[in-house]
Amino acid sequence: MARSARTAGRTSPLRTIQKDLLSLASVPRESVQALLLLAARLKDMQRRGKPHAWLAGRTIGLLFQKASTRTRVSFEVGMNQLGGQALFLPIGDIQLSRGESIADTARVLSRYLDGLVIRTYDQTIVEEWAREATVPVINGLTDLHHPCQALSDLLTIQEKKGRLKALRLAYVGDGNNMTNSLIEAAVKVGMSVSCGCPKGYQPDSTVVEQARQEAAKTGSAIELSDDPEVAVKDADIVYTDVWISMGQEREQARRLKAFSDYQVNERLMKRARPDAIVMHCLPAHRGEEISAKVLDGPQSVVLDQAENRLHMQKAILVELVRPLGRAQT
């Protein structure tokens, strides 16, 4: 079982496997379920105004190379609601920008902080932080993975659909970090994924191959296509993301041309199930990857999806950042 108000002194499922959250591939299925239960409980406690200062006296650092709205705010507010605090540390403002090594910085910050959230470009960078730090390291986003967002998305889908197993999630557009983490998350809970991505923009092949091994154990399926209509057919969830991610601005013209037929719009949504929900991790570019009518329409759950970043972030923090004492009931 996950740590709860009554079991805060026990070792959490995540901590018995790893001290860090770098991707979802190595997170056990039971830990994903435990995080979903804990996030739902924390959300209920917040809405009822019930105190849950379980990380009082603890401090995390947020080291960001990339711009952020939801990741930064959800972790800062989450730590505050859990009784702790978060320090925002733009990498350009610390000595890393003047040549200090990740190793030295990680070792020093481990003496001050109880956890680190890293938001950067290359996955190898967050992995180096994890190797060198002696406190938990959480991947707040890299070009390869976005595990916190994908876990939050599972929470939203579970709330809207009442279950996760045997649902069909269709992803349309760029096979990016979001696609990779959604695939990893979905197969953990028995959900199938169908991706409609242009040739040359498919999800990471290593991620897909590893996820297929997990899917064989949970009864999931992973389908890759370059046809968005095939991907969306009979989908319970239709998901998309921006076509031009941070760091890809120089590719704008080429990408806009490659993805011109991959917009999630009213015509495409007719291929999905009538009760399908629409998801987007935001920020969104209306008129590019998604039409305004769909993003702002009745099937869209993007605001609930964004809110759930807060509740899942809190669950991750409770699991990975050891409390000073027993949690409050």
Query: Mapping DSSP to helix (H, G, I), strand (E, B) and coil, where does residue 88 land?
Result: strand
Amino acid at 82: L
Q: Is 72 among the residues known to form the active site?
A: no
Catalytic residue of the set 3, 41, 58, 119: 119
Q: Is 149 among the residues known to form the active site?
A: yes
Catalytic residue of the set 146, 255, 280, 322: 146
Q: Is 285 among the residues known to form the active site?
A: no
What is the C-alpha separation between 228 and 154, in angstroms, rounded? Answer: 22
Q: Is 281 among the residues known to form the active site?
A: yes
Closest CA to 11 of 1, 21, 20: 1
Q: Is 119 among the residues known to form the active site?
A: yes
Consult the annotation and say whether 191 binds a ligand. Answer: no
Instruction: Output the six-digit token pair for 24.
Output: 């979802």
Consult the annotation and say whether 119 binds a ligand. Answer: yes
DSSP letters for 163-216: --TT-EEEEES---HHHHHHHHHHHHTT-EEEEE--TT-PPPHHHHHHHHHHHH
Q: What is the distance, to the nearest Å, from the Cα of residue 247 to the centroid of all Cα atoms in its chain?
A: 19
Consult the annotation and say whether 309 binds a ligand. Answer: yes
Consult the annotation and say whether 246 binds a ligand. Answer: yes
What is the C-alpha separation between 302 and 171, in angstroms, rounded? Answer: 15
Consult the annotation and say whether 241 binds a ligand. Answer: yes
Consult the annotation and say whether 16 binds a ligand. Answer: no
Catalytic residue of the set 65, 149, 305, 313: 149
Catalytic residue of the set 195, 263, 281, 305: 281
Consult the annotation and say whether 146 binds a ligand. Answer: yes
Instruction: Output the six-digit token pair for 200.
Output: 């040359």
Catalytic residue of the set 145, 309, 311, 322: 309
Consult the annotation and say whether 227 binds a ligand. Answer: no
Consult the annotation and say whether 95 binds a ligand. Answer: yes
Annotated binding site: 68-71, 95, 119, 146-149, 177, 241, 245-246, 281-282, 309
Residues annotated catalytic, as ranges: 119, 146, 149, 241, 281, 309
Annotated binding site for carbamoyl phosphate: 68-71, 95, 119, 146-149, 281-282, 309
